[in-house]
Structure 1
Amino acid sequence: MPITPRDFQLYKLALSLFFLAVVNFAAHSKNNAALVIDGSTGVKPLIEVLAQHYLESASSPNIQIGQGLSPKKRIAALKNNKIDIAMASHGFDVSQLAQLNLRVHPFAKVAVVMGVNHTVKVDSISEQQLCATYSGAITNWQQLGGADIAIAPFIRPADEVDSEVFLAKVSCFAQLTLAKNVQIKKKSGQMARAIANERGAIGMTTLVRVSQSDNKIAPIGINGILPTTDNVLNNTYGLTRNLYLITSDKPKERVKSFLRFVRSQQGAEVIKANHAVPLIVNSSTRLTP
């Protein structure tokens, strides 16, 4: 049967509509592609709650947050487009990242604290008492004015940022020989769970983890100075670390949208609600961790 001019025009119209549908579907899929975030497990708790609030305000987003990557692996994943955003709090050099066409975005400061299990009723200890606890000279909370409960000490690896903060700011920690009962927790989440679940426990964590523990973890002061957000703001409490997000220097729109939320007033309120301090800096690539 011969094709008439009218049939040919209808065929062209149908073909055009088909290609338009394909283009629109591709654009829609691209705009709604998952935002993939991974990296430091110490940064993860705050990013998780920020992502939760972002999802409530953004239109049809999809965010995937990984289980953690080492400093080298997170940068490799970012460069290879396996992730969109890398979470970090240490282990990078800003100038080297700039050479890789990556940009650093600081967004919060958190207090690094000695968290204790809720069974421990001691508000503050001295640096010397803290070191004596980890060396094994002090083994019961009764020796520190608390209840008759054995101390269960936990620590992060020496090359993790929480340990680095204590090693740098608490002088006796640098020469410390750990007692045999001190258990090492490699990841931030493992540490928080151990403190929350072990009667008499003490360990390095952050005020964000404390705020999200349903009162199972309490922060303990050092030398009488409590790790409050006010004391972080006025530099009275000096055991702190910054939290960063690392992206391409030309991030995709879905990345820029999330960063705008994190650094917005609404994002700042979420950060403060989780006992951290918003850290908004315009020229982030000039900062050093």
Structure 2
Amino acid sequence: MPKRCLSRVLTAVAAAALAGVVTTSAVVAAEAKLTIGGTGGALGGMQLLAEAFEATHPDVKVEVLPSLGSGGGIKAVLAGAIDLSVSARGLKDKERAAGAIDRPYARTAVILVTGESAGLEQISGGALADVFVGATGTWPNGTPVRLVLRQKSESDIGFLRKFAKGMDGAVDAAYERDGLLIATNDQQNADYLEKLPGSVGVSTEAQILSEGRRLRIVGVDKPAPNVADVERGAYPHVKTFRFVTKLGAPEKTTAFIAFVRSPEGQEILRNSGHQPVD
């Protein structure tokens, strides 16, 4: 082949290769990334929603981070480190002043849970108080009781104190006992409860169902609650999850929030222990 023709061929090949690189770069650049973080109890639900959202929005990749806590997630949103936070509390005045906005998207039951080996479906308030003060050391089936606590300031502990008459003092007594595990976040709490035979502690229906945890929801003085009970106001121990963004959130963030509020998103929430909130 003459040198001039060969040169033309090589030039054409190089141009085609360059065009391919440019096209590939454009595709990569076109894929947006949406980062979500915040309270651990809401992250399982976010992961389920993220997978469904990506199926209909292939141009957006959603990353759900490990637990940051409600406060940590809000700080991360304000700092621009994440796009969307999920919070189990409302905003403080200083957070609103810094440009954060929030809106509820779901409610969930705060519930008593045990490991499967405890063999428990329901317990009386008095018997539960005895478990926390240490007066009862085994479950009816003979399995030793293993109590798992959260930090005293954790909101779920506040709910636990109201589960039954006498529980406020029983919870205080539990913190005075030696050798009990105290979980620092929602995922560690669920891990402890799953791994310890005869475990008992507090969690939320949303986390247990959305993460597929091998734990049993136990009713206190009545059958265990479900989403329908929360929806009709028949269960009093309920927390609200909120989306937190900055003013002027980008389209990828608003698109995800809109998906959560769509019929498909609402169904995913209901099936994973959440009562959707308009």
Q: TM-score when scaled to structure 2?
A: 0.83
What do residues 240-289 of structure 1 show as CA deviations (whole Å, max 9, x unaligned)? 10111100121100000000001111110000111211111xxxxxxxxx
What do residues 192-228 of structure 1 show as CA deviations (whole Å, max 9, x unaligned)? 1222222111111111232246572110001114211
Q: 1:188 to 1:223 in 2, by over 3 A?
A: same
Retained in 2: the 8 A contact 1:211–1:275?
A: yes
The aligned residue for residue 177 of structure 1 is 173
1:162 to 2:156 alignment: yes
User: What's the offset of the Cα at 1:102?
Assistant: 1.6
- Identical amino acids, percent of aligned pairs: 19
The aligned residue for residue 88 of structure 1 is 87
Q: 1:38 to 1:210 in 2, by over 3 A?
A: closer
User: What's the offset of the Cα at 1:148?
Assistant: 0.9
1:111 alignment partner, SS class: strand
Retained in 2: the 8 A contact 1:226–1:237?
A: no
Q: Which moved more, 1:203-212 or 1:184-193?
A: 203-212
C-alpha RMSD of the superposition = 2.4
Counterpart residue type for residue 167 of structure 2:
F
Cα distance in structure 2, aligned partners of 1:251 and 1:91: 18
Retained in 2: the 8 A contact 1:207–1:275?
A: yes
Counterpart selection for 1:149 from 124, 133, 143: 143
Cα distance in structure 1, aligned partners of 2:38 and 2:96: 18
The aligned residue for residue 206 of structure 1 is 204
Cα distance in structure 2, aligned partners of 1:69 and 1:154: 21
Unaligned runs of 5+ in 2: 1-20
The aligned residue for residue 230 of structure 2 is 232
The aligned residue for residue 3 of structure 2 is none
Q: 1:212 to 1:197 in 2, by over 3 A?
A: farther
The aligned residue for residue 78 of structure 1 is 77
Unaligned runs of 5+ in 1: 1-20, 281-289
User: What's the offset of the Cα at 1:141?
Assistant: 0.4
Q: TM-score when scaled to structure 1?
A: 0.80
The aligned residue for residue 192 of structure 1 is 190
Retained in 1: the 8 A contact 2:74–2:87?
A: no
Cα distance in structure 2, aligned partners of 1:265 and 1:213: 21
Counterpart residue type for residue 103 of structure 1:
I
1:226 alignment partner, SS class: coil
Counterpart residue type for residue 265 of structure 1:
P
